Structure 1
Amino acid sequence: MSIDTEQLFDSQAVTRISQSQQEPEWMLKRRLKALEQVDQLPLPRLEKTRIDRWNFTAFDPVSVHDPVSSSEELPEEVQQLISSEEEDTVFVQKNSSPIYLRLAEELQAKGVIFSDLATASREHADLVQKYFMTDGIQPEEHKLSALHAALVSGGLFLYVPQNVTIDIPVQVVFWASGKGLGTFPHLLVVGESGSHFNVVANFVSDPDSDAVINGAVEVFAGDNAKVRIASLHTEEKETTEVVYRRAVVGRDADLEWIVGDLNSGRTISDNTTHMKGNGGNARIKSITVGAGNERSNLTSTVRHWGSHTESDITARGVMKDQAQSILNGITKIEKGAVRANGVQAEKVLMLSREARGDANPILLIDENDVQAGHAASVGRIDPIQMFYLMSRGLSRREAERLIIFGFVGPVLDTIPFESLKKRMTDVIERKLG
């Protein structure tokens, strides 16, 4: 499919977006270069998923909103995404506008940078230029990444200096509201060597929103850093969301992804972690639940470049009604990554005959002295399990619920943030009816 973006977003429109955010000249140049690539690049090719008829361009890319001085001024449904006990460092963006930001004074004193991306591109240009869409996601990957680079609006930059620990999770909310809108959130996270911190990012939309979300998350974990990123997506049924997550892991660093792809519309989720430093460790834990006519293509990839690196991908999917989801797990061990160890397991539970779930584990090994393994399964609820539980007095609904939460337990039970675990549990309950 050919998307005529020139009629929708020309250089003047992109320049206006950049100028409205008071960005420096280098950021505008990057935008315009990416815009030139949009029509030259193809859409991403996805396993068993046609996206050529999905809406990626029919929207207004800018929706301006006034900031608020307190989280209490936010709608109740957005306030609920922010843990009141942990409201020290919080960022909220509505469509293309950052509307609320709070940074704990003690973190500011330690040199932590917590700023909307446009401000950071002016005040911390050297840092942003070094990391923004260079070694993580790159504009030339495909049409959608180039479109993101050209139209990115708002966004957050988090920088944690060397050996700094943040005890309370950093909370981020990207909120899509209204009709006919496109949002391009970008979360850029940099943890220097020896830093320890957690980030919880919620991507949400209003019930009546038909937004097109083209987002990116880039994470850089320096040597000996310990970083945990939780990314929860609960967009409504009329939305289309594309989210590309990229991480670069340094020497002896530890990175954990917790991903909840719980949207109700159309979803492309691509999570790639590069194990660049020797001795690094990465764990990717993901849950998806599909209902109605949802369509999703979800990929978790780990590429081992350094020696003695370890990775573990654990993915669980539950499908009901006519929902369809493709779960791809890819472990790539590059030449020279000796003593690397990569394992993965993708499992899909289908609750109806019309549902479809595919689990595709892939190992790509270019080195001999390594360990690697994979497991995958797609199936329905075991009738013997149901009979046993119902014979103990449980209703069919209660028995099914118990089996489902036992199935997703290997991911859900390991989430260290109680507020996030509760929210994910509530969303799963709601989607399962």
Structure 2
Amino acid sequence: MIDTEQLFDRQAVTQLSQSQQEPDWLLQRRLNALEQAGRLNLPKLEKTRIDRWNFTNFEPVRQEKAVASTDEMPEDIRRFISAEDEDSVFVQKNSSPVFRRLAESLESKGVIFTDLATAAREHEELVKKYFMTDAIRSDEHKLAALHAALFSGGLFLYVPKNVSVDVPFQVLFWAGGNGVGTFPHLLVVAETGSEFNVVANFVSDRESDAVINGAVEVFVGDNARVRIASLHTQGEGTTEVAYRRTVTGRDADLEWIVGDLNFGRTISDNTVHMKGTGGNARIKSITVGSGELRSNITSTVRHWGARTESDITARGVMKDQAQSILNGITKIEKGAKQANGVQAEKVLMLSREARGDANPILLIDENDVQAGHAASVGRIDPIQMFYLMSRGLSRREAERLIIFGFVGPVLDTIPFESLRERISGIIERKLG
């Protein structure tokens, strides 16, 4: 077992908290989490060994200077921000928030869009109510505890009751350099009847060996409508842990769009708790692996409320020696009458050495419900390839056409054109 007390002691955690001028209650939560990290085990993942992955060998705090404009950032990083929608932008590099912009029209409506440390001081009761209390908790396992102890920077987004925002909130968490550890935390609260979109990018340099242990918590109030796109493009030497947890209220509508397009090692866990009646949740995910990528990607929806509906759609493409596990879990709890949950996971392998696995799981504890699943794992059909090449396409062109047709059911439904183009470009680059 990793001795986290030797790696990150109470003094280091206290200094981190004090450097961000956090209130005492938040420091105490950090110290409690550090103690938990010393005794909790790593999470157990389906068909994936992670005991030799690097989760603790890093520099936990690396401060960066603020920038006056996104133009001051490198071009390959700036491209993750849509220039047409810069009303609401937040950028964090390593441990430091370096840029924030919020339109005055949104601020006047009560929208809060600021780093977590500032929010904890200026909106203490709100942050204290939601931060790692329900969606994700520090006592889940060692990685959650490490995150709770060492998170730095982070963003708090709060949209008040009945406020509708047309332009998406853009968030960029950027890990730069080698030997760094980042712990990004995105906390989103949508009050009753609010409506908005969030595009969150998690990126690192291509050659980076960073350790990223991130969390996203989303609370969707009654009758609120929230769409969140989360795109991950970490470097070849990185290890990324990404936990996304959502709690939905009555008649809430939630859509998750997840692009797990890393080049290194990945744990991706997206769990939605549908607690209110009549809610609707959709999870759409794409993963593309190349080189020696190893990933374990799980999408879970737990139906607690009656008449709730969910749909999980996942597509994975593996080439070279890449390996990925796609897990889909639909759990209908006792009392969730007339719930309806469906899911489909499909993996396409492009080489003999590539490996993919699709595991659909239905857990039903209530009668008078509907549930269904589908899964497939396979290689490109040689008959399809022959047909396309007989029409004059090269092998690479034919392969590309088949791949984009395979991921199309997810890619084509993404409502943000700039994000669709970005994901398509990354897929092109990974497929070489």
Aligned to 1:35: 34
Q: Are 1:247 and 2:229 an aligned pair?
A: no
Q: Which letter does structure 1 place at the counterpart of 2:27?
A: L
Aligned to 2:110: 111
Q: Which letter does structure 2 place at the counterpart of 1:80?
A: R
Aligned to 1:182: 181
**Percent identity of equivalent pairs:** 79
Aligned to 2:261: 262
Q: Which letter does structure 2 place at the counterpart of 1:269?
A: S
SS at match of 2:139: helix
Aligned to 1:94: 93
Aligned to 1:10: 9
| Residue correspondence of structure 1 range 17-416 to structure 2 within 5 A | 17-416=16-415
Unaligned runs of 5+ in 1: none
- Provide the rounded CA distance (Å) in 2 between the counterparts of 1:72 and 1:321: 36
Once the two structures are TM-superposed, the CA of residue 31 in structure 1 deviates from its matched residue by: 0.3
Once the two structures are TM-superposed, the CA of residue 116 in structure 1 deviates from its matched residue by: 0.2
- Provide the rounded CA distance (Å) in 2 between the counterparts of 1:12 and 1:304: 42
Once the two structures are TM-superposed, the CA of residue 416 in structure 1 deviates from its matched residue by: 0.4
- Provide the rounded CA distance (Å) in 1 between the counterparts of 2:124 and 2:208: 34
Q: Which letter does structure 1 place at the counterpart of 2:293?
A: E
Q: Which letter does structure 2 place at the counterpart of 1:216?
A: A
Once the two structures are TM-superposed, the CA of residue 73 in structure 1 deviates from its matched residue by: 1.2
- Provide the rounded CA distance (Å) in 2 between the counterparts of 1:237 and 1:77: 16
Q: Which letter does structure 2 place at the counterpart of 1:363?
A: L
Q: Which letter does structure 1 place at the counterpart of 2:21?
A: Q
Once the two structures are TM-superposed, the CA of residue 359 in structure 1 deviates from its matched residue by: 0.1
SS at match of 1:55: coil
SS at match of 1:377: strand
Once the two structures are TM-superposed, the CA of residue 101 in structure 1 deviates from its matched residue by: 0.2
- Provide the rounded CA distance (Å) in 1 between the counterparts of 2:75 and 2:169: 20
Q: Which letter does structure 2 place at the counterpart of 1:234?
A: T
SS at match of 1:140: coil
Once the two structures are TM-superposed, the CA of residue 207 in structure 1 deviates from its matched residue by: 2.1
Q: Which letter does structure 1 place at the counterpart of 2:219?
A: F
- Provide the rounded CA distance (Å) in 1 between the counterparts of 2:263 and 2:74: 21
**Cα offsets for 1:185-212 (capped at 9, x unmatched):** 0000000010000000000001221100
- Provide the rounded CA distance (Å) in 1 between the counterparts of 2:39 and 2:214: 20
Q: Which letter does structure 1 place at the counterpart of 2:95?
A: S
Once the two structures are TM-superposed, the CA of residue 424 in structure 1 deviates from its matched residue by: 0.2
Count of aligned residue pairs for this structure pair? 432
SS at match of 1:139: coil
- Provide the rounded CA distance (Å) in 2 between the counterparts of 1:388 and 1:290: 26
Q: Which letter does structure 1 place at the counterpart of 2:270?
A: N
Once the two structures are TM-superposed, the CA of residue 179 in structure 1 deviates from its matched residue by: 1.0
Aligned to 2:418: 419
**Cα offsets for 1:41-99 (capped at 9, x unmatched):** 11000001000000101111100111111111111112111111100000000001000
- Provide the rounded CA distance (Å) in 1 between the counterparts of 2:344 and 2:138: 30
SS at match of 1:236: coil
Q: Which letter does structure 2 place at the counterpart of 1:152?
A: F
Backbone CA RMSD of aligned residues = 0.5
Q: Which 4+ runs in 1 deviate beyond 3 A?
A: none
Q: Which letter does structure 2 place at the counterpart of 1:365?
A: I
- Provide the rounded CA distance (Å) in 2 between the counterparts of 1:175 and 1:333: 37
- Provide the rounded CA distance (Å) in 1 between the counterparts of 2:177 and 2:73: 15
- Provide the rounded CA distance (Å) in 2 between the counterparts of 1:47 and 1:197: 34
Q: Which letter does structure 2 place at the counterpart of 1:173?
A: L
The alignment's TM-score, normalised by the length of structure 2, stands at 1.00
- Provide the rounded CA distance (Å) in 2 between the counterparts of 1:191 and 1:246: 14
SS at match of 2:44: coil
- Provide the rounded CA distance (Å) in 2 between the counterparts of 1:55 and 1:312: 33
**Cα offsets for 1:210-237 (capped at 9, x unmatched):** 1000000000100000000000000010
- Provide the rounded CA distance (Å) in 1 between the counterparts of 2:251 and 2:105: 27
Q: Which letter does structure 1 place at the counterpart of 2:140?
A: E
- Provide the rounded CA distance (Å) in 2 between the counterparts of 1:92 and 1:369: 46
